[in-house]
Amino acid sequence: MFFKKNNGFGYNPTILIAPLDWGLGHATRCIPIIRHLLNNGATVVVAANGQIKALLQQEFNQLEFLNLPGYKMRYSTSNRQVFALLRQIPKLIKAVYGEHKWLKKILQHRQFDAVIADNRLGFYNRRVKCIYITHQLTIKTGSRLTDWIAQKIHYRFINKYSECWVPDNGGVNNFAGALSHPVKKPHIPVTYIGVLSRFEKSIVDKKYHLLVVLSGPEPQRTIFENKILQQLKNFEKNVLLVRGLPGNNETLSNPNKNIEIHSHLDAAALNTAILQSKIILCRSGYTTIMDLIALEVKAILVPTPGQTEQEYLATYIKQKDMFYSTTQAGFSLQNAIAAAADFACKIPPVSTAQFEPVITAFLKKLQP
Domain locations in the chain?
14-196+352-365, 208-341
Give 71-134 as a DSSP string: ------SSS-HHHHHHHTHHHHHHHHHHHHHHHHHHHTT---SEEEEES-TT---TTSEEEEE-
DSSP state of 325: E
pLDDT averaged per 10 residues in sequence order, the chain, 368 residues: 47 93 89 96 96 94 93 55 60 87 96 96 96 94 82 94 97 94 95 96 96 89 94 94 89 84 94 98 96 96 91 96 96 96 92 95 89
**Is the Cα dihedral 300, 304, 305, 308 positive or negative?**
negative
Task: State the DSSP H helix or E strand holding residue 319, giving kind and residue range, or none if neither.
Answer: helix 308-319
Tell me the HSE value of 72 on the side-chain side, using a 13 A CA sphere.
12
Of 137, 323, 294, 301, residue with least CA distance to 213: 301
- Per-residue buried b or exposed e for 225-252, using 16+ beta carbons within 10 Å of the residue's own CB: beebbeebeebeebbbbbbbbbeeeeee
**14-196+352-365 and 208-341 share one CATH topology?**
yes
DSSP state of 202: -
In total, the chain counts a number of residues equal to 368
pLDDT of residue 322: 97
Q: What is the CATH number of domain 208-341?
A: 3.40.50.2000
CA-based max dimension of the chain: 63
Residue-wise over 260-287: b if at least 16 C-beta within 10 A, else e? bbebbbebeebbebbbebbbbbbbbbbb
List CB contacts of 240: < 8 A, sequence separation 6 or more. Answer: 207, 208, 210, 211, 212, 259, 260, 261, 262, 273, 276, 277
Q: What is the pLDDT of residue 84?
A: 56
Quote the pLDDT of residue 249: 79
Phi, psi torsion values for 233, nearest 5 degrees: -55, -40
| Distance from C-alpha of 89 to C-alpha of 92, rounded to nearest angstrom | 5
**Architecture label for domain 14-196+352-365:** 3-Layer(aba) Sandwich (3.40)
